[in-house]
Amino acid sequence: MAILEVKGVNKRFGGLAALSDVNLTVQESTVHAIIGPNGAGKSTLLNCLVGKLMPDSGSVMFDNRSVLGRKPHEINQMGISRVFQTPEIFGDLTVLENIMIPCFAKRDGAFRMHAFEQFANEAELIDKSDAILADVSMADQRDAHAASLSRGDKRRLEMAMCLVQEPRLLLLDEPTAGMARADTNNTIDLLKEINSKRDITMVIIEHDMHVVFSLAERITVLAQGTPLVEDTPDNIKGNPKVQEAYLGESQI
Amino acid sequence: MLGLNKNDTTLFVVIIILTILAPFLLNPFPTESTLAQFNAGYPDLMEKFVVFGIFAIGFNILFGLTGYLSFGHAAFLGVGSYSAVWIYKLFTYNVIPALILAVIVSGIFAILIGYVSLRRSGIYFSILTLAFAQMSFALAYSVLSNPKFNLTNGETGLQIYANDLQLFHRESLPNFPHIFGLSMGSTYKLGVGPWEFQFNVAYYFCALMMIASFYFAIRLFRSPFGMMLRAIKSNQQRLNYTGLNSRPYMLAAFVVSGMYAGLAGGLLAVTDPLAGAERMQWTASGEVVLMTILGGTGTLIGPVLGAGFIKYFENIFSKINDQVLHQWFTFLPDGIEDFLVAIVHPFIGKGWHLTLGILFMLVVIFLPGGLVEGGQRIARIARRLMNRDKAADAANVSAE
């Protein structure tokens, strides 16, 4: 079943057509990668999915409901979580608090005036947060300041913040950018486990072909704002059009 | 206790004890001594400490937690005062309805200003709040004081006249703000040897309000709501992409903060039943920013310390004049005495702002966490010295 359907999306920035007539269908429970050379419109497409940008035309349906015109927090409440290219976390807060905030968002909705309640009484949410921290093996950093974490740990924390909400669709914008090979492999394992154990659909934008080919079940290649092909990883590898537009570059 | 953790309970109890004992603690010098002018234990000044403490606590809920710097908080202070005085004029001198109206009206005012100002963040938010506050000042100063519709009494300030309605006022009740008949102006004076201590009803009433305000602030700081506000300061974008709508959180923080300011404004009218437009001027808004930063932004106790510090300077340093200086330096040869007085002269009396400015700069540069950070550093050094002494003692014992 298709969980995300993008149809005929166009987005122009002045004279530049960042996206022209983009169609994309993501099946439930799969890992779908979007690749393409720099400036192909990958991030623009992602921003259209989470409410940061409004496409000029076209439709984006999540679970048969349109996401266009909704605010970022509304889209998140529908079940779409996003991991950013550079980890976006609450640096001034502790690791546990970072996880607690999405827990509150999940339980209480977009706003609740819980000014006279006590943090310590939220045992259920604290347990849930601790469990997630154990899953991403960060339990011993529970009370650390999030800003003091290493870059890899910040990334894992951000991932945990998304996971604790049990989203139906997880969008990842270059989740291994700037990581060492060992960290990259850990992230791949983590993402595989998330996909299989928690049954979360993922859309992943990535430059690192190693990551793409070890995770993705379907791949869409974007070039100059239009999808070139959409196929399985094996077919993409052998596709001459893709070689020319994208992989060709790296072979020179 | 009361839903507070151990450290917060200690802090809260210390605050209660300090406010109750303030008439003693702030009056360390005998009445006749030359140092008596440094005594701050008289009702007028003590009331200012606690009232501006409330103002700063409320401001800190907005600025300290969310990082949104409002430059127009004095508008709510003024609105609170005007509301309270109108209750006196129309109904009764009883302070309870006056304060309730002050808080409600300033809350409504905060909803209006906040709804518009919070469309922007950073410097634009500050400028919007400043613009609103100056508009409120202009309204109070001139627009709303024409003969047809006199809401604020303009330059003179709103005050109570003999021909005011005062519907529920009775002959038996004091002709001054009171709480169920007990006049806010009544003071009990206790003479102990050369000392004289003053216990004033208005002070203790305001102190009670400050303790309550402080308690609510602690609860708010430690609540999930407070955590959301800190999250806004830390990374508003992440909060939005985490499914939380930062708008209503910000508006709620702004309104709570405005209501604190309204309560403080109402209390100013409790200690002295008049309200003037100058209370809303931008200098008053700037003052609460200084208080909060000087004391320690985002800390619980900081704003109260900052408020006390600035009000002390305003009232005590401004009273020192050349004559007093000559008295201090009288033991020195005449030439040096005159020279010293000439040097110190610009920093005292009307020049107290200069001293305050220098102190403010020193604090911001060397103690970015404000007076609270200063206190923490001293405590850390003291602890280290104590540990060293203990270690030395232990070494001595083992050597013997």
Q: B243–A119: do the CB atoms touch at under 8 Å?
A: no
**Cβ-defined contact of A92 to B233 (cutoff 8 Å):** yes
A106 touches chain B (CB under 8 A): yes
In a domain? residue B131: yes
Query: Mean pLDDT over all residues of chain A?
Result: 89
Question: Residue A8 — φ and ψ, nearest 5°?
Answer: 55, 40
For residue B370, is pLDDT > 90?
yes
A221 and A104 part of one domain: no
**pLDDT at site A251:** 45
Is A228 an interface residue toward B (CB < 8 Å)? no
Using CA atoms, how far apart are residues B8 and A10, in angstroms rounded to an integer? 55
Contact state of B235 with A81 under an 8 Å Cβ cutoff: no
Q: Which of B303, B306, B310, B347 is nearest to B325 (CA)?
A: B347
pLDDT score of B347: 85
Q: Does A123 touch chain B (CB under 8 A)?
A: no
Q: Enumerate the residues of chain A whose CB falls inside 8 A of the CB of residue B233.
A: 92
Tell me, yes or no, whether A85 lies in a domain.
no
- Is A150 in the same domain as A162? yes
Same domain, A140 and A130: yes
Asked if residue A252 has pLDDT above 50, the reply is no
Is A65 part of a structural domain of the chain?
yes
- Helix (H), strand (E) at residue B335: helix B334-344
A 127-156 residues with CB < 8 A to B = none
CB contact under 8 A, A165 and B220: no
SS3 of A60, please? Answer: strand
What pLDDT shows up at residue A152? 82
Treating both helix axes as pointing N-terminal to C-terminal, what angle do B302-316 and B370-399 enclose, rounded to 10 degrees?
110
Residue A187 and residue A235 share a domain: yes
Query: In this complex, which of A76, A89, A115 lies closest to B235 when CB atoms are compared?
Result: A89
For A140, the token pair is: 């011993």
How confident is residue B101, by pLDDT bands cut at 50, 70 and 90? very high
Cβ–Cβ contact A71 with B under 8 A: yes
Is residue A16 domain-shared with residue A141, that is, in the same domain?
Answer: no
In the predicted model, is pLDDT for residue A242 greater than 70? yes
pLDDT digits (tens, 9 = 90+) for A160-172: 999 999 999 999 9
Mean pLDDT of B380-390: 90
A20: enclosing H helix or E strand: strand A16-27
Using DSSP's 3-state secondary structure scheme, residue B180 falls into coil
* pTM of the model as a whole: 0.93
Residue at a domain's end among A122, A141, A166: A166
| Separation between Cα atoms, residue A145 and residue A149, nearest integer Å | 7
Of the residues A113, A149, A166, the best mutation for testing chain B's interface (the one with the most B CB atoms within 10 Å of its CB) is: A113
The whole-angstrom distance between B126's CA and the closest CA on chain A is 22
Q: Do A116 and B223 count as a contact with CB atoms less than 8 A apart?
A: yes
CB-CB under 8 Å, B227 with A110: no
Q: Is A104 an 8 Å CB contact of chain B?
A: yes
CA distance A189 to chain B (A): 24
Instruction: For residue B239, give how far its alpha carbon lies from the nearest alpha carbon of chain A (Å).
Output: 8
Cα distance between residue B249 and residue B220, in whole Å: 13
B233/chain A closest Cα distance in angstroms:
8
Which member of A93, A115, A122 has the closest CB to residue B225? A115
Q: What is the pLDDT of residues B40-84, one digit of tens each?
A: 989 999 999 999 999 999 999 999 999 999 999 999 999 999 999
Of the candidates B3, B223, B235, which has its C-beta nearest A91's C-beta? B235
Please list, in sequence order, all residues whose beta carbon lies within 8 angstroms of the beta carbon of residue B341, skipping any fewer than 6 positions away.
B322, B325, B326, B329
Q: Which domain holds residue B178?
A: 6-319
Whether A60 and A180 map to the same domain: the answer is yes
pLDDT band at A247 (very low <50, low <70, confident <90, very high): low
Kindly state the tokens that stand for A134. Answer: 């154990």
CATH of the domain at B161: 1.10.3470
Count contacts between A and B (CB, < 8 Å).
102
The rounded distance, in Å, linking the Cα atoms of B174 and A15 is 76
Place of tokens 């931008």: B282
Retrieve residue B150's tokens. 């006199």
Task: Indicate the residue among A116, A140, A166 that finishes a domain.
Answer: A166
Indicate which CATH number applies to the domain containing A44: 3.40.50.300
Do A173 and A66 fall within a single domain?
Answer: yes
Query: A238: how many CB neighbours lie within 10 A of its CB?
Result: 9
Q: Are residues A171 and A247 in the same domain?
A: yes
The phi, psi pair for A171, rounded to 5°, reads -100, 125
Across the interface, whether the CB atoms of A119 and B234 are under 8 A apart is answered no
Would you say residue B369 lies in a domain?
no
Q: Indicate if the pLDDT at residue B102 is higher than 50.
A: yes
Domain span including residue A110: 91-166
Q: How many domains does chain A divide into?
A: 2
Q: Both tokens of residue A232? A: 């399985």
Same domain, A2 and A53: yes
Q: How many whole angstroms separate alpha carbon B395 and alpha carbon B400?
A: 9
Interface mutation vs chain A, best among B2, B111, B213, B244, most A CBs within 10 Å: B244
pLDDT at A101 over 90: yes
A105 and A227 belong to one structural domain? no
Instruction: Give the model's pLDDT for residue A179.
Output: 78
Distances in whole angstroms, Cα of residue A177 to Cα of each of A172, A191, B345, B398: 11, 15, 62, 58
Nearest to A47 by CA among B14, B241, B326: B241
pLDDT at B376: 93
A window 229-248, beta carbon within 8 A of B: none
Q: Is A1 inside a domain boundary?
A: yes
CB of A93 less than 8 A from some CB of B: yes
A17 vs chain B: nearest CA distance in angstroms?
A: 26
Contacts of B224 in chain A (CB under 8 A): 100, 104, 114, 117, 119, 122
| CB-CB neighbors (< 8 A) of B236 in chain A | none
Range name among A211-220, B341-350, B370-379 with the lowest pLDDT average: B341-350
Percent of chain A at pLDDT exceeding 70? 97
B130-144 burial, b for 16+ CB within 10 Å, e for fewer?
bbbbbebbebbbeeb
Tally of domains within chain B: 1
Distance from CA of B234 to the nearest CA of A (A): 5
Contact B82, B158 (CB under 8 A): yes
Which residue from B187, B209, B242, B14 is spatially nearest to B96, judged by alpha carbons?
B209
pLDDT at A40 over 90: no
Mean pLDDT of B382-390: 89
pLDDT in tens, B184-194: 999 999 988 88
Task: Give a yes or no: residue B336 inside a domain.
Answer: no
C-beta atoms of B242 and A117 within 8 A: no
Amino acid at B38: F
Residue A84 domain-assigned? no
Burial code (b: 16+ CB inside 10 Å, e: under 16) for B50-68 equals bbbbbbbbbbbbbbbbbbb
Q: Pick from A147, A166, A185: which residue ends a domain? A: A166
Q: Which residue of B has its CA nearest to A161?
A: B242
Same domain, A9 and A105: no
User: At residue B163, what are phi and psi to the nearest 5 degrees?
Assistant: -90, 10
The reply to whether A154 and A194 lie within a common domain is no
**Which band of pLDDT confidence, cut at 50, 70 and 90, is reported for residue B337?**
confident
CA distance to partner chain B, nearest, from residue A64 (Å): 20
Q: What is the mean pLDDT of residues A50-63?
A: 93
Taking the CA of residue A69 and the nearest CA in chain B, the distance in Å comes to 15
> Per-residue DSSP letters for B102-159?
HHHHHHHHHHHHHHHHTTS-HHHHHHHHHHHHHHHHHIIIIITBSSSSBSS-GGG-EE
Q: Are A207 and A250 in contact (CB under 8 A)?
A: no
Q: How far apart are CA B298 and CA B303, in angstroms?
A: 9
pLDDT score of B344 more than 70: yes
Contact B228 A93 (CB under 8 A): no
